[in-house]
Structures are given as C-alpha cells and as structure tokens.
Amino acid sequence: MNNSRNIKDFTIATLGSHTALQILKGARDEGFKTICICERGKTEPYESFNVADEIITLEKYSDFFQIEQQLIDKNTILIPHGSFVAYIGPENIMKIKAMHYGTKEILNWESDRNKEREWLLGAGIKMPKVFSQPEDIDRTVIVKFHGADGGMGYFLANSPAEFHRKHQNYLAKNKSKAYMIQEYIVGVPVYSHYFYSPIDDTLEIMSFDKRYESNADSVGRVAAKDQVDVDIETSYTVTGNVPIVLRESLLPQIFKMGHNVIEKSRELTSGGLFGPFCLEGVIDPQLNYYIFEISARIVAGTNPYINGSPYTWLKYNEPMSTGRRIARDIKKAIETGQLSKVLG
C-alpha cells in the first residue's frame, strides 16, 4: 500500500506534546487521517482541540514499541518532534520500523554536541568558543548540561573558581551530568525556522522566535540590588515561545546559512537534512549571528504560527504552519510517487 498515490491510504501520527497540535491540524487540513499517541492523563488538549481522528493511549511513552505494529497496519507516517526524541531516545529512534518522516541518521549529528559542532563549523557557521576545561575560562561563559532538559540547571561563570563553586551547587541538587562550557554571547536570542523540501528542491524561511525562559526573562523585573541581596541565579527553563520578525537586511544571510547547513549535511549522511530545521543562536550588536545549536526537525518555536507567519503569508497566501508544510510535502511526495524521498 506504500506505493499508493492516494493520501486517503495513509495516516499521519505523532506523540501528544511539543508541536503535536499543529502537526495534526496541518495533516488534517491537507486531507490526511490523524493519530495522536498520548500518555494516560494527557489526552485532553487533543480531544478539546479536535485534531486527532484517533487517540492511542500509552501508560508511558517508552511503551511506544508495543503499539508500533498497529501503526504499521494503518500505513502510518510518524512525524518526529522535540519531545518525540526526548521520550523515545535517539538510539531507539533508529529502531523504528513504521514510516518515519525525515532522516534518522541526521539525529545522531544533532544529538551529540561535538558532532553538531563539526557539522556547523564545516558549514561555515559562526559559533561561540568552547572551553575544553574549566581552568581555561577567561571570559563570561554559560555552562550547559547534555540532554534536552529545556535549559534546566544552566549557569554562568566568569572564572574557574566561580565555575567550581556553581558546579558544586548544581551537584548538590542534581545528578552528575556531562556539560559544555561555552563563551556567553551578549546579544539577543533568535531562533530561525527553515523548511527544505526535497520534492520542490527549495529552501524556505518559515518564521523566527525567541524562547520565554524562566527565570532569565524575568530577572530584569527585579532591581539589580535586590537580585544580589536575594542571590538570584539565572536559569533557562523553557515555558513558551515569543514570535519575532527579523530586520529585513538580515534575511540574505539567514538564507545563506540555511543553504550551507543543508549542503554540509549531504557530505555527512546519505540522505542529508530535509524538512523543518532550526538554527538557534544569539545576534550581537555588530549583527554577528552566533549559532549554538541546530534542531534537525520541527521546533516548538513554530507554535505561535499555527495560522501562518508573516513569511509564510508572503509565500502561500493561505494559513501555512510548519506542521501543515510537512503534510503538504508528504502529500506531494505521495501523489507524484516519490514518498521514499521524504522518509528516512
């Protein structure tokens, strides 16, 4: 049935969190049947917003493989997102037998900070300096722990001594974890959302966002004196996303960065990067855009644009979320007999 050119023979599914609402709504708007896979007790948003034809409930997400055959029988195409990778685990993603949108191989490059750095630097992207040991710290740095915990526990330090003091504090409250010490760039955070279609062979800018982080985005509401008095330490726990429209003269550079990242990915993996991806970084006052991370899949920063962004409005003249853009690419691939081009 995978050779069918009728989208009615296919179902689109994802896990109920992160960007599931726009993925499922987008799939339905393009004419697909939809399934939402939820953990028990977390189904209400998907029922209330009525985006799923079927909801499959699991005791816990790690039970995913128990229902995989059911998905295969329904000719389901799975759409991965941030929570999908966090809950199933990058190593288990490789074991998925159901149809999977996007290259699985690229997730290995994205989830390992060293490989990610090799990819981005190889694409000519500017990145903050990385310090291999705390003793080398000679400027303000941000210390990041591995794994997608949404910025939990990150701290700033200006010297080796400050690093060790804050790391001890961290260890008193948390399990020991690998970390990266990165130069702290003073500027504004900008996350650039792209879509590359292997079917149309075009790169699109979908939108931009910045994260709304607790407490980084609220410490400015407290006077500096009070911050010191009560010893507030900055943290970066993601709670939501805020839309941004970028200074227009930056757009040529944003396109160029996207093209370079795709080109480099083709040297690193067989299929290369396609579908939605995001470059995450900070723009300094000289307009240097330093990237600290790439997400090789849909990011939650696209959620403010379920009805489309200013950029997708220019291109499509109809509501086009990133979730819907994915479904449209899959639809075109099915109807032109090229489905394998968007699966990985």
Site for ligand AMP, rule CB under 6 A: 17-18, 82-83, 86, 128, 142, 144, 148-151, 154, 182-185, 189, 211, 213, 216, 236, 238, 240-241, 280, 282, 292-293, 300-301
Give the Cα separation of 259 and 22 in Å (integer). Answer: 25
The residue (of 146 and 247) whose beta carbon lies closer to ligand AMP is: 146
Q: C-beta of 253: minimal distance to ligand AMP in Å?
A: 19
The residue (of 9 and 90) whose beta carbon lies closer to ligand AMP is: 90
Given the structure tokens 């400050």, which residue do they identify?
A: 162
The residue (of 191 and 311) whose beta carbon lies closer to ligand AMP is: 191
Look at the chain and count its residues: 344
The residue (of 75 and 237) whose beta carbon lies closer to ligand AMP is: 237
Q: C-beta of 206: minimal distance to ligand AMP in Å?
A: 15
Q: C-beta of 16: minimal distance to ligand AMP in Å?
A: 9
User: Interhelix angle for 322-335 vs 20-29, to 10°?
Assistant: 40
The residue (of 84 and 274) whose beta carbon lies closer to ligand AMP is: 84
Q: C-beta of 90: minimal distance to ligand AMP in Å?
A: 13
Cα separation values, 134 from 105, 156, 174, Å: 32, 12, 19
Region of 276 please: left (phi>0), alpha (psi -120 to 50) or beta: beta
Element (H, E) at 253: helix 251-268
Q: C-beta of 85: minimal distance to ligand AMP in Å?
A: 8
For residues 141-167, one letter each, b for 16 or more C-beta atoms within 10 angstroms of the residue's C-beta and e for the rest, the string is: bbbbbeeebbbebbbebeeeebbeeeb
**Sheet with strand 141-145: strands edge to edge:** 130-131, 179-183, 141-145, 155-157
The residue (of 262 and 298) whose beta carbon lies closer to ligand AMP is: 298
Q: C-beta of 147: minimal distance to ligand AMP in Å?
A: 8
In this structure, what are the phi and psi dihedrals at residue 80, rounded to the nearest 5 degrees? -80, 150
